[in-house]
Chains A and B, each alone.
Chain A
Amino acid sequence: MVPALLRLLCWSGLRARPLRRCPLGGLAAPVDMAARLRTALLLGSLLVLGACGGEPTRVEQGNRDGVLHVGNGTEPQGLDPHVTTGLPESRIQDTLFEGLVSKDPATLEPVPAVAESWELSADGRTYRFHLRADARWSDGTPLTAEDFRWSWWRALQPAIGNEYAYMIFPIRNAEAYLTGKLTDFDQVGVRVIDPHTLEVELNEPTPYFLQIVDHHSYYPVPRHVIERFGSPTDRFTGWTRPENFIGNGAFTLAEWRLNKHVRVEKNAQYWDADAVQLNAVMFYPTENIVTEERLFRSGQLHATNDLPTDKIPDLRQTMPAQLRLEPYLGSYFYSLNIRREGLDDVRVRKALSLAIDRDAIVDTVMKGVVKTAYSVVPPGTIGYEPPEGLIRFDPVEARRLLAEAGYPEGQGLPPLEILYNTHETHRKIAVAIQQMWKQHLNLDVTMLNQEWKVYLDTRENRDFTISRYAWVGDYVDPNTFLDMWTTDSGNNKTGWGNAEFDDLVLRQIPAMQSHEERLAGFRRAETILLEELPVLPIYIYATKHLVSPSVQGMPQNIMDYISFKRVSLEPSD
């Protein structure tokens, strides 16, 4: 004990390492004074709190029983796919429900799911889905085209409060129906041809439609169960409780203990049940990522949901085989309120951008985990290559531009403030950028951190000059990162608007037929955006996981998507 404390005081020896399997295993240590003291101490506590009998860790036990234990961020708010919005919820929903198509976890290409095949009309506007005959709900009830139509009707009811309803808007008249301009659902582009054929008509050709039809807003929900528990548009009914739950996914809900875990078990009624290798998946809320990492090291989790950035350098040394760092379909940026004096001058915005040493932020603050952003759209999104040379670090040019704009050495520039929501990473980046602007532009920028809801409120009211913001793509297409900057987009709080950009994104690109043409169109749009700079890209997100070597079939992808039905456990030890 004493040497351990000494080590602690000399700030050494505290490296990440696998923790002992049984935390109380120290009882078997050789007899010395410390051990005796320890035994005495522990025996007292054990009487009260229960003993540790050299049991296997959860991971070892899980490998034997085919039970996967994963960290899952926060406690799920709910499991109704038309009600929830978060990633932890959708990860569980992905196991409990299945849409018409699904994704291959390695390539993210659409693969058959409830629909065994589909056709696209020549004009690119109408999909015809052929549902498999053996698709069933987990209570054995057949799953038909009518189920999808009814579910999408439900997802478009304002009363249900579906915050992701806009994902359905590519379907003809869906938006008009939700906003009440249209009251007849028959005019929405969803038609049941026969129990196993569903026809979907779109507003315009939507190349990414097969991707979004996999979104949880499009999941079928069991009408026959929901109506038993109340009105279909009631958010509060208990149909998603384990005792009532019926789904159509590879797994079904077995247990849901608040703030403890959610357990899903293999669904025997699933059409592809033979291919499902896991018997169960346990999802744990792991709000504290420091704790989550420790749980992994002590063999309590097969995979973590996230990792503390400060740990990465250490983990690179100690657990290279388990550590997985991959780019993620998300952009981190600062949005500027260009209605404020000073920021209304594009030269000032450029100066701010040129004075940010993004590589230094990525290397030091982010420990090289993320990638420097030279664009808002993450590069490599379905082959997209962003414009080059618009985002760079050039403090001399930055100073010159600032002086040219009439604010030499920052003289006379109205005060700027960086708004961010309370979070360690945001704070670190804000502090770093604050220093860079001070050093290179002689600007005294203040910082304002607000707790999440307050921050959202401030943004909503455009009561900021500079605000940290981020966007995670809803689907793999540049469109999800660019249509938010159109003049009337609810997510564009910068006050920036550009007619040419709007025309490109909203009218020209949707009409384009070929993939290359679209990519070129997006490139033009992004060039406009980055020359005008209402937004300063900082970095492209990355996913950070520790994954146990026994986990197979969980390839990394840019959407951080896990297809649990393809995961298997192969104990290597």
Chain B
Amino acid sequence: MWRFIASRLLQAVPVLITVVTLTFFLVRFAPGGPFDGEKTVLPEVKRALEAQYRLDQPLWSQYLSYWGDLLHGDFGPSFRYPGRSVNELIAAGLPATTELAFYALLVAVVVGMGAGLAAALRPNSWRDYLPMALAMIGICMPTLLLGPLLVLVFGIELEWLPVSGWGDLPGDKILPSLTLGAAYAAYVARLTRGGMLEVLSQDYIRTARAKGLPEAVIIGKHALRGGVIPVVAFLGPAFAGLLCGSFVVETVFQIPGLGRLFVQAAFNRDYTMILGSTVFFAVLIVVFNLASDLLAAWLNPRVRGALRGQS
């Protein structure tokens, strides 16, 4: 078990090296620098600015010193916001993004598993077709369309909910969470249905039924545990995906989260912020993939055995 975790963490090392190296050199190739402005900057001022951010040093030495800082957990100073560190910016954007991703995940799990279960219990009836058709819509309706449509209907036309913001007005978290969660809810519904159908056809369920156990116990106690394994395996990457993919929703709803900070940083050539958030996202992906594997293993005795066998 511990060896499994350790080996997975070891695997993350080349990932991070690749991410840092690729991003570091990629952003430097971008035309335009962080200090270009509409009005031409005096050459003396520009030189002084570049010296302050070490931009006057050769690229490889900047690269090495970035690693030096990174290993101390320091993402460096932001170019765009003088006086603020990238750590601080990430810390400022993270709560909104995490909260958004969490609510979206909640929507995905509650709605998705509910729909999937309903469908699996009555396969090939309208109770199966309806949620599955909705799930298909959820998968095919891109966030960038669903968000504005929800705003148009519920925010502008019906005026039930605020159209933007995060934590400023009551209820302003509902639409973004729904928007981001919808596609994932659809996937979860399909996975739950598939997983449940497979489990329900297994012998031990038939045995349980034959023994006359109440249906609720069969479903709740025996079938569900096996049926949700594919969902759990999906949730880890999904949460990472929610965190990284939230920038469209953050743009539509003006949420001051990490995704928007990243996109702004890319446009502003805030080198350190681009690097910092990319590395941060990569770490999140690694961590959540690992967590979901462990959770799936805990739920699935067979995989658990395999893990133990490995160690």
Contact = CB atoms under 8 A, between A and B. Distances in A.
Contacts of B84: 78, 258
A51 interface: yes
B306 to A, nearest CB: 38
B82 A456 contact: no
Interface in B160-181: 160-164, 168-174, 177
Contacts of B44: 158, 178-180
A162 B171 contact: no
Interface stretch (B5-13, B31-39, B233-241, B277-285): B31-39
Contacts of B215: none
Contact of B77 (A46, A49, A236): A236
A416 to B, nearest CB: 21
A19 B158 CA distance: 10
Contacts of A38: 160
A287 B250 CA distance: 12
Interface string A283-295: 0000110010011
A235 B82 contact: yes
B169 A163 contact: no
A208 interface: no
Q: Which of B38, B80, B152 has the most CB of A within 10 A?
A: B38
B267 A451 contact: yes
B45 A165 contact: yes
A386 B41 CA distance: 29
B157 interface: yes
Nearest to A239: B83
Nearest to A421: B38
A24 interface: yes
Contact of B158 (A1, A50, A240, A258): A1
Interface in B41-67: 41-42, 44-45, 47-49, 51-52
A339 to B, nearest CB: 18
A276 interface: no
Contacts of A298: 162
A179 B42 CA distance: 9
* Size range of the chain B interface in the assembly: 35 or more
A238 B83 contact: yes
Contacts of B32: 452-457
B217 to A, nearest CB: 27
Contact of A452 (B158, B173, B267): B267
A42 B89 CA distance: 33
Given A77-B82, A451-B267, A258 B92 contact: yes
Q: Is the interface of A mostly helix, strand, loop or mixed?
A: loop
A164 to B, nearest CB: 8
Contacts of A20: 159
A408 interface: no
B82 A4 contact: no
A206 interface: no
A49 B48 contact: no
B254 interface: yes
A490 interface: yes
Contact of B256 (A160, A260, A452): A260
Contacts of A451: 267
Contact of A490 (B40, B174, B254, B256): B40
B156 A14 contact: yes
Contact of B164 (A26, A49, A85, A288): A288
A20 to B, nearest CB: 5
B170 A24 contact: yes
B267 A288 contact: no
B52 A453 contact: no
* Size range of the chain A interface in the assembly: 35 or more
Nearest to B36: A456
Nearest to B174: A45
Contacts of B40: 460, 490-491
Given A23-B169, A52-B171, A158-B45, A453 B162 contact: no
Contacts of B88: 258
A179 B46 CA distance: 11
Interface in B82-106: 82-84, 88-89, 92-93, 103, 106
A260 to B, nearest CB: 6
B41 to A, nearest CB: 5
Nearest to A451: B267
A19 B31 contact: no
Contacts of B153: 4-5, 8
Interface in B232-277: 254, 256, 260-261, 267-269
Interface string A366-392: 000000000000000000000000000
A94 interface: no
A159 interface: yes
A158 B103 CA distance: 48
A128 B31 CA distance: 47
Contacts of A51: 170
Given A23-B159, A23-B161, A179-B44, A50 B170 contact: yes
Given A23-B171, A260-B256, A8 B82 contact: no
A238 B77 CA distance: 12
Contacts of B177: 49
Given A236-B77, A288-B254, A159 B48 contact: yes
Given A24-B161, A85-B37, A49 B47 contact: no
Nearest to A259: B256
A165 B39 CA distance: 12
Given A165-B45, A258-B256, A453 B157 contact: no
Given A8-B152, A238-B83, A458-B31, A158 B157 contact: no
Contacts of A180: 44
Contacts of A236: 77, 82-83
Contacts of A83: 82-83
Interface string A160-201: 111101100000000000111000000000000000000000
Given A300-B169, A491-B40, A453 B269 contact: yes
Contacts of A455: 32
B30 interface: yes
A295 B155 CA distance: 12
Nearest to A454: B31
B118 to A, nearest CB: 17
Contacts of B163: 291, 294
Contact of A78 (B83, B89, B103): B83
A452 B267 CA distance: 7
A7 interface: yes
Contacts of A4: 153, 157-158
B25 interface: no
Contact of B83 (A46, A48, A235, A460): A235
Given A55-B170, A235-B83, 9 more contacts: A52-B171, A85-B37, A166-B42, A235-B52, A235-B82, A236-B83, A257-B92, A453-B31, A457-B31
Top 7 A-B pairs, shortest CB-CB distance? A453-B32, A259-B256, A490-B40, A52-B170, A158-B48, A161-B49, A457-B32
Interface of A: 1, 4-5, 7-8, 13-14, 19-20, 22-24, 26, 38, 42, 45-46, 48-53, 55, 77-78, 80, 83-85, 157-163, 165-166, 178-180, 235-238, 240-241, 257-260, 287-288, 291, 294-295, 298, 300, 451-458, 460, 470, 490-491
21 contacts: A20-B159, A23-B169, A23-B171, A24-B160, A50-B171, A80-B82, A80-B83, A158-B44, A159-B51, A161-B45, A161-B52, A162-B45, A163-B35, A235-B83, A240-B83, A288-B254, A291-B164, A298-B162, A453-B32, A453-B269, A456-B38
